[in-house]
Chains A and B, each alone.
Chain A
Amino acid sequence: MSKMTLKTEGDKHVIVTRRFAARPEAVYRAHTDPKLIQQWLLGPEGWTMPVCINEAKPGGKIRYEWTNGKGGSFHLTGEYQELEPYSRIVHVERMHLPDPTPDNHVETRFDLDGTGTLMTMRMTLPDAQTRAAMLATGMERGMEASYARLEGMI
């Protein structure tokens, strides 16, 4: 499936786009309602998000805690800056691995696309170095599970 694109732009940006069959209202809600977020923002198989705090208002807090049930865990914190229901979200986030990574400024747009939605997520990192490090370390749990899978394949 090639619905998603992931690319870098300039020195500091990462752009992710993805199309959804549902309308922007629903996609926006799935990004801001903790009960919904806990169902999909999980990474690879086997990980869950037992703690999901998401105060969808300017200045509101974000806190996601993931675990693989086998002692692996990490969390992300962030703050909302701007929210335009149901078209745009601006927030800042950082991973705790356990030391916090530099702030990632994220603008997420939900544009009506036919009967569905085109989501565009634009991440801005402090510098090229941080972006490179994020692409390499940002998805800890993703890497772990993938290594396991890769090892099985080789």
Chain B
Amino acid sequence: MSPTLNLDAAFSALADPTRRAILAHLAKGEASVMELAKPFEMTQPAISQHLKVLENAGLVTRRVDGAKRPRRLARAGIEVMDQWLAMLRKALEKNYDRLDEVLAGMEQPTIKMITKTKRGEKR
């Protein structure tokens, strides 16, 4: 399989949460199909199918080790992992930028409320 990143294949490979979680697992290091299948409560053939999609997309590569074929992240896969974290950051930052605006809008009523309470206390 071509080691280069096929963008269309990569994006469609990433559209599935299981495949993203597989990449997240491989980000921690090489793993066998059995190790990869464990956390997902999926059969090995099902995981193998997901791995095939990831390999075809150039995100994962396999190594021959006797009878085993451990998988690891391809360089493109590593870049994709970095991009995810950047995207997660961006989504959170967007939320908090919006929260800044909400907070700015809240200040007015809060001040009024405090003024009212103070007046009430005075009498």
Using a CB–CB cutoff of 8 Å, the interface residues on chain A facing chain B are 1, 3-4, 6, 16, 18, 20-22, 25-27, 29-30, 36, 39-45, 97, 128-130, 132-133, 135-143, 146-147, 150-151, 154
Contacts and interface: CB of A to CB of B under 8 A. Distances in A.
B34 interface: no
Contacts of B20: 133, 136-137, 143
A139 B93 contact: no
B96 A43 contact: no
Given A6-B85, A129-B25, 10 more contacts: A3-B96, A4-B92, A26-B106, A132-B24, A132-B27, A136-B24, A139-B87, A139-B91, A141-B91, A143-B84
Contact of A133 (B11, B39, B87): B39
Contacts of A137: 17, 20-21, 24
A3 B103 CA distance: 16
Contact of A40 (B14, B85, B99): B99
Contacts of B11: 147, 151
Nearest to B105: A39
26 contacts: A1-B97, A4-B92, A6-B89, A18-B96, A21-B100, A25-B110, A36-B102, A39-B98, A39-B102, A40-B98, A44-B90, A44-B94, A97-B17, A128-B28, A130-B39, A132-B21, A132-B25, A132-B28, A136-B23, A136-B81, A136-B84, A139-B92, A140-B17, A141-B91, A142-B87, A146-B90
